[in-house]
Amino acid sequence: MKKRIAILGSTGSIGTQALEVIRQQPDFFEVEVLSANNNAGLLISQAIEFRPNAVVIGAEHLYPKVASALEPHNIKVYAGEDALCQIIEMETIDMVLVALVGYAGLRPTLSAIAAGRKIAIANKETFVVAGELVTRLASQKGVNLLPVDSEHSAIFQCLVGEYKNPVEKIYLTASGGPFRGKDREFLGNANKSEALKHPNWNMGCKVTIDSATLMNKGLEVIEAKWLFGLSAGQIEVVVHPQSVIHSMVQFEDGSIKAQMGLADMKLPIQYAFSYPDRLKTPGPRFNFTDHPELTFEKPDIQNFRCLNLAYDALRTGGNMPCIMNAANEVAVNAYLKDKIGFLDIPGIIETCMGNVEFSVQPEYKVYAETDRMTREMATTITG
């Protein structure tokens, strides 16, 4: 039987690539639900092509437009976050892909866990904001959380068959982003058009800016802690500009397993969909002679302070990663709107981490209030 998939965030970078996977593998997957926040036009086009049972538009004022366009196609249309969380409970859904960006992914993920759905998760902020809560509830419900991020998918693939062998350390590889090797003077004048030119990956604006600041790697460090049950000292970031090795696992005997291949997000998406099976795919194959040199270097934590802030948040625990994430989302949005400079981003995050009320053992309501308070403070700072 085909696996019926709900794609939350179908109009974003991960969502559109997930639909490419389904388009390439029609014998194995079909779309059951599509959702988008405000890109009604693309959502309508996707729904007409893939004929899901239902779609959800987050922006409620766009409901009439979507409903009118899809009425002739007999596709149910709903609007708002509450509707999105409720529709995940549909018994016809086999897997939920959480491809929403930022804090917005937390509540739907918790709803999918509560419904007992298998989850492919591309929203690292869910683990950053509430990793302890998410993993605890998933364990209680027996829900599998399959990583879609290329780095975490790589670690997951390296661990398949190794469940009895303790992990000594993992290495998360980073391309270094568009500003790798740049000094502080350059970064002080770096504009968003330069920051959005990632050398290897095709990603959305927010993730690409996070890659430029190295915050994306910091978020991945925290995500890895919860996905794989590791301490901060067991997670090391190494800059690998070629983006051929997607991440590595070092075991207690000193051996290292690496997962490598072309920089193509459709591969980890498909693996999460098909796990434990691997499906034959079209397209190019990796050629070693095209990559005669693979290099590795330490990240520049002096000029790219966001990575260290993420490690600090991880070690502090509680709601500190939630504070860090909310401040970063506001700061990145302000940078994209030309309100602040590139080097202002870590300063805003650090200020919020030092001033928003800290909670040692938060539950969902505390996370929600922390997120709200932090956004207010960061918005005030950014003007």
As a whole number of angstroms, the distance between CA 348 and CA 213 comes to 13
Q: Is 11 contained in some domain?
A: yes
Q: Is residue 275 part of a domain?
A: no
SS3 content of the chain, % helix, strand, coil (to 5): 50, 15, 35
- Give residue 1's pLDDT: 86
CB 131 within 8 Å of CB 105: no
> Are residue 87 and residue 228 in the same domain, yes or no?
no
pTM of the model: 0.92
Contact 299, 174 (CB under 8 A): yes
- The pLDDT assigned to 197 comes to 85
Tokens 């409901």 belong to 63
pLDDT above 90 as % of the chain: 91
295 & 184 share domain: yes
CATH number at residue 371: 1.10.1740.10
Tell me if 211 sits within 8 A of 201, measured CB to CB: yes
List CB contacts of 153: < 8 A, sequence separation 6 or more: 147, 246, 259, 267, 268, 271, 272
Same-domain pairing of 109 and 9: yes
At 275, the amino acid letter reads Y
Indicate if 42 and 116 belong to the same structural domain: yes
Look at the alpha carbons of 336, 337, 341, 344 in this order and tell me if their dihedral is positive or negative: negative
Element (H, E) at 323: helix 320-336
Has residue 348 been placed in a domain?
A: yes
Q: 321-334, pLDDT tens digit by residue?
A: 999 999 999 999 99
SS3 147: strand
Longest CA–CA span in the chain (Å) reads 62
pLDDT for the residue numbered 325: 95
Verify that 105 and 10 share a domain, yes or no. Answer: yes
pLDDT, tens digit (0-9, with 9 covering 90-100), for 222-255: 999 999 999 999 999 999 999 999 999 999 999 9
Same domain, 86 and 119: yes
Give the containing element (helix H, strand E) for 30. strand 29-36
> What are the DSSP calls for 190-246, one per residue?
--HHHHT--SS----HHHHHHHHHTHHHHHHHHHHHHHHT--GGGEEEEE-TT--EE
Q: What is the DSSP letter of 340?
A: S
Counted residue by residue, the chain has a size of: 383
With a cut of 80, say whether residue 203 has pLDDT above it. Answer: no
Q: State the chain's mean pLDDT as an integer.
A: 95
305 with 368, same domain: the answer is no
Q: Flag whether pLDDT at 200 surpasses 90.
A: no
With cut-offs at 50, 70 and 90, classify the pLDDT of residue 202.
low
| CA dist., res. 32 & res. 55, Å (int) | 9
CB 238 within 8 A of CB 298: yes
Residues in Cβ contact with 121 at an 8 Å cutoff, skipping those fewer than 6 apart: 97, 98, 105, 109, 127, 145, 146, 147, 148
Task: Examine the domain organization and report whether 111 and 124 are in the same domain.
Answer: yes
Q: Do 299 and 370 lie in a common domain?
A: no
Give residue 344's Cα distance to chain centre. Answer: 23
143, 191: one domain: no
Between CA 276 and CA 137 the distance in angstroms is 23
Does position 41 have pLDDT exceeding 80, yes or no?
A: yes
Is the pLDDT at 381 greater than 90? The verdict is: yes
Q: Flag whether 224 is in a domain.
A: yes
Question: Is 283 part of any domain?
Answer: no
Spatial strand order of the sheet with 235-239 comes to 235-239, 167-174, 245-251, 256-260
Question: End of a domain among 147, 169, 190?
Answer: 147
The answer to whether 104 and 82 are in contact (CB under 8 A) is no
Q: What is the CATH number for 58?
A: 3.40.50.720
Q: Given 116, 147, 178, which residue is the final one in a domain?
A: 147
Ordered alpha helix ranges (H), 115-178? 124-141, 150-159
Let me know if residue 282 belongs to a domain. Answer: no
Domain range enclosing 258:
152-263+288-313
Tell me how many domains the chain contains. 3
Assess whether pLDDT exceeds 70 at residue 289: yes
Report if residue 277 sits inside a domain: no
The radius of gyration of the chain from alpha carbons, rounded to an integer in Å, stands at 20
CB 364 within 8 A of CB 110: yes
Q: Is residue 50 part of a domain?
A: yes
Same domain, 195 and 307: yes
Choose one of 147, 171, 188: the last residue of a domain: 147
* Antiparallel, parallel or unpaired: β 29-36 and 118-121: unpaired
User: Rounded distance, CA 34 to CA 9, Å?
Assistant: 7
pLDDT tens sequence across 161-179: 998 999 999 999 999 989 9
Q: Which of 140, 10, 33, 11 is nearest to 86 (CA)?
A: 33
Same-domain check for residues 175 and 43? no
Helix (H, G, I), strand (E, B) or coil at 362: coil
Per-residue pLDDT tens over the stretch 127-150 = 999 999 999 999 999 999 999 999
